[in-house]
């Protein structure tokens, strides 16, 4: 238990200490929010879909949580590189505890980052339909964070070098983001794209937040479906991540 | 304290460690010497539960690392060839994490951390991030950390690599002091023969996976009929240069240097 706690704490300390990184990581969401939010707004409105800033805000929050959590898992690569991974792997603690501590830490950081972007969205003019439901949106953020921190851990356990990192970034993380319905509604899409977006777990995370923050009419799936998919896929990925982590050789 | 019997490790058709046997007594400082790629690190990895032997037996403090992984891990400390500190954390925090991972009770942890950081002359800098430390300070911190959970055995894999003579000298003095004070068995590898000669009680020389000689520094010099340990070493292992191909870890290390201005 204390091993899980100390590794969780480590992730948090590292996060709070990298102020430049916190600020830098707000750049991307701000760009999407302001440029797309205000740039595409008129077109979106004319197509009869309402306020684009309202629509895109949950997507941008989801994106932040996605990037932050998946990077925390891939951070294994850094720890492998700078050696700290070895220190934890020869300790008399089970690999499972180490994996849990790291994953929880990474997920916590991702949620904090998501909350920060939520505040930015609110400042930019985003208004949820019901403020009381923000805690439920937070719950969805937690699920997204855990799911992708576990995915990052599963991938990071097998990565040996930085080339692999670029590959993951371009062929996994970016597609997950762009095909999640973060930027456009998942309605009237070509069949193939429709299937792909439905296979993307982030779709359900962002849809869940839209359900909660904007109301059922703005979302594509039922909130119960969102929740079920996130919990199931998340659980599977946690198991896979733990298994892959237990196989690391140094 | 350490007993290694007929140890073999093969990787495919390559035999990295070939039928190696030796004993290290409690409280002894044992230096394991050999050219690059001779099998030193592979042997250490097998003793420290990081690699499973192909065949042969290992006992650490009477326990088999294969069957009593966590008990064995609790009993040794290890300082790796390359650093394993978290540069974003302070010296104290690095010690703290280690103490928690090794189940050292809170009070003992605080006490021993202070005692060890003072001994290794790092107490003044305990609240500084480790990335601001010099190479020698980092090495000292790693060794201090290795001692934190009062291990019975400390493994040091080339701990003085890349340090200036002053830091090397000081580091060995510290190690010797703890070795004497706490009766910790020390198992080390190094490429600096003068260090081995000065620090080690006994020496084992390994080449091409085989243990070619063991004994006190004096015995080894006598047996080979040489004046210095360096000459004895060259006589035993030849003077051809062993080039290892860069493995993926090396390649990544180079890559990371380009990025080390970044986050971690």
pTM higher than 0.95: no
How far is residue A56's CA from residue A75's CA, in Å, rounded to a whole number? Answer: 28
Cβ-based burial of A248 (10 A; exposed 0-12, middle 13-18, buried ≥19): middle
Domain around A151: 2-246
Q: Is the pLDDT of residue B56 over 70?
A: yes
Q: How far, in Å, are A71, A74, A244 from residue A161 at the CA level?
A: 14, 11, 17
How far is residue A210's CA from residue A216's CA, in Å, rounded to a whole number? Answer: 8
Specify whether the CB–CB gap between A83 and A63 falls below 8 A. no
Q: Span A206-212, mean pLDDT? A: 96
pLDDT at A230: 97
- Coil vs helix vs strand at B108: helix
pLDDT at B262: 40
Reported as a single tens digit per residue, the pLDDT across B34-55 is 988 888 989 999 999 988 999 9
The crossing angle, in degrees rounded to 10, of helices A223-246 and A95-124 is 140
Question: From the CA of B149, how many Å to the nearest CA of chain A?
Answer: 11
The residue among A84, A237, A69 whose CA lies nearest residue A154 is A237
> Is A14 in contact with B88 (Cβ distance < 8 A)?
yes
Buried b (16+ CB within 10 A) or exposed e, A137-148: bbbbbbbbbbbb
> Is B264 in contact with A82 (Cβ distance < 8 A)?
yes
- CATH number, domain B2-259, options 3.90.470.20, 3.30.460.10, 3.40.630.10, 3.40.50.300: 3.40.50.300
> Is A7 in contact with B248 (Cβ distance < 8 A)?
no
Which chain A residues are Cβ-neighbours of B87 within 8 angstroms?
82
Q: Is the pLDDT of residue B88 over 50?
A: yes
What percentage of chain A carries pLDDT values higher than 90? 66
Q: Is the pLDDT of residue B242 over 80?
A: no
Provide the residue count of chain A: 250
Residue A111: CB atoms within 10 Å: 23
Reported as a single tens digit per residue, the pLDDT across A184-199 is 888 889 999 999 999 9
How far is residue A31's CA from residue B200's CA, in Å, rounded to a whole number? Answer: 62
CB pairs under 8 A between A and B: 93
**B119 CB within 8 Å of a chain A CB:** no
Chain B, residues 76-95, CB within 8 A of chain A, namely: 78, 80, 82-89, 93
Which chain B residues are Cβ-neighbours of A81 within 8 angstroms?
252-253, 256, 264
How far is residue B245's CA from residue A63's CA, in Å, rounded to a whole number? Answer: 41
Chain B, residues 164-193, CB within 8 A of chain A, namely: none
Number of domains in chain A: 1
Question: From the CA of A81, how many Å to the nearest CA of chain B?
Answer: 6
Q: Is the pLDDT of residue A38 over 80?
A: yes
Q: Which residues are bridge partners to B14 per DSSP?
A: B11
pLDDT at B249: 56
Select the highest-mean-pLDDT range: A153-162, B126-135, B235-244: B126-135
Q: Is the pLDDT of residue B141 over 70?
A: yes
Reported as a single tens digit per residue, the pLDDT across B149-205 is 999 999 999 998 878 888 889 889 989 998 999 999 999 999 899 899 999 999 999
Helices marked H in B24-164 — which ranges?
40-47, 69-75, 91-101, 106-119, 135-147
The CA dihedral of A21, A24, A25, A26, to the nearest 10 degrees, is: 130
Specify whether the CB–CB gap between A80 and A245 falls below 8 A. no
Q: Specify the long-range contacts of residues B239-248, CB closer than 8 Å, at least 24 apart.
A: B242/B35, B242/B36, B242/B37, B242/B38, B243/B36, B244/B36, B244/B37, B248/A160, B248/A161
Mean pLDDT of chain B: 88
What percentage of chain B carries pLDDT values higher than 70? 92
Q: Is the pLDDT of residue A115 over 70?
A: yes
Reported as a single tens digit per residue, the pLDDT across B12-35 is 888 899 999 999 999 999 999 998
Q: Is the pLDDT of residue B264 over 80?
A: no
Top pLDDT among B164 and A92 is at: A92
Could you tell me the residue ranges of all domains in chain B? 2-259
Show Cβ contacts of residue B198 under 8 Å, excluding neighbours closer than 6 positions: B172
What is the secondary structure of B173-238 as a DSSP string? HHHHHHHHHH--EEEEE-S-HHHHHHH-SEEEEEETTEEEEEE-HHHHHHHHT-SSHHHHHHHHH-
The residue among B205, B178, B70, B187 whose CA lies nearest residue B119 is B178
Q: Which residues are bridge partners to B33 per DSSP?
A: B205
Reported as a single tens digit per residue, the pLDDT across A121-170 is 999 889 999 898 999 999 999 999 999 999 999 999 988 777 888 888 88
């Amino acid at each position: 238990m204390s091993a899980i706690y100390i590794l969780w704490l480590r992730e948090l300390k590292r996060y709070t200490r990298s102020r430049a990184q916190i600020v830098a990581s707000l750049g991307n969401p701000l760009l999407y929010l302001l440029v797309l939010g205000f740039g595409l707004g008129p077109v979106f409105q004319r197509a009869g879909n309402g306020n684009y800033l309202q629509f895109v805000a949950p997507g941008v929050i989801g994106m932040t949580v996605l990037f932050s959590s998946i990077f925390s898992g891939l951070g294994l690569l850094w720890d492998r590189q700078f050696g700290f991974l070895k220190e934890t792997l020869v300790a008399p603690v089970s690999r499972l505890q180490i994996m849990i501590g790291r994953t929880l830490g990474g997920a916590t950081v991702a949620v904090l980052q998501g909350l920060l972007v939520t505040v930015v969205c609110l400042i930019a003019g985003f208004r949820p339909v019901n403020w009381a439901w923000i805690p439920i949106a937070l719950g969805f953020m937690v699920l997204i964070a855990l799911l992708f921190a576990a995915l990052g851990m599963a991938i990071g356990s097998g990565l040996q070098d930085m080339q692999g990192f670029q590959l993951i970034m371009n062929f996994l993380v970016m597609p997950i983001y762009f095909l999640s319905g973060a930027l456009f509604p998942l309605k009237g899409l070509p069949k193939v794209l429709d299937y792909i977006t439905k296979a993307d777990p982030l779709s359900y995370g962002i849809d869940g937040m839209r359900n909660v923050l904007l109301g059922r009419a703005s979302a594509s799936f039922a909130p119960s479906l969102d929740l079920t998919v996130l919990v199931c896929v998340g659980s599977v990925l946690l198991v896979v991540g733990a298994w892959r982590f237990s196989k690391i050789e140094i | 304290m350490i007993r290694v019997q007929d140890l073999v490790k093969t990787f495919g058709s390559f035999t990295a460690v070939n039928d190696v046997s030796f004993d290290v007594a409690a409280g002894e400082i044992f230096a394991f010497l050999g050219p690059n790629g001779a099998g030193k690190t592979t042997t250490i990895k097998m003793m420290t539960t990081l690699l499973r032997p192909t065949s042969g037996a290992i006992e650490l403090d009477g326990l088999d690392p294969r069957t009593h992984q966590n008990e064995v891990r609790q009993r040794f400390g290890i300082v790796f060839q390359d650093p394993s500190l978290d540069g974003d954390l302070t010296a104290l925090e690095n010690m703290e994490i280690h103490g928690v991972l090794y189940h050292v009770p809170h009070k003992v942890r605080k006490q021993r951390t202070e005692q060890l950081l003072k001994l290794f002359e790092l107490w003044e800098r305990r609240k500084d991030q480790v990335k601001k430390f010099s190479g020698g300070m980092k090495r000292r911190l790693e060794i201090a950390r290795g001692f934190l959970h009062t291990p019975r055995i400390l493994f040091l894999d080339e701990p003085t690599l890349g340090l200036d003579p002053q830091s090397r000298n000081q580091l060995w003095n510290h190690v010797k002091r703890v070795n004497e004070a706490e009766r910790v068995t020390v198992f080390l590898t190094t490429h600096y023969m003068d260090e081995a000669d000065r620090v080690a009680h006994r020496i084992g020389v390994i080449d091409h996976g085989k243990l070619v000689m063991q004994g006190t520094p004096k015995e080894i010099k006598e047996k080979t009929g040489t004046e210095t340990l360096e000459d004895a070493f060259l006589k035993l292992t030849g003077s051809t240069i062993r080039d290892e191909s860069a493995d993926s870890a090396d390649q990544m290390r180079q890559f990371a240097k380009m990025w080390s201005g970044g986050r971690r």
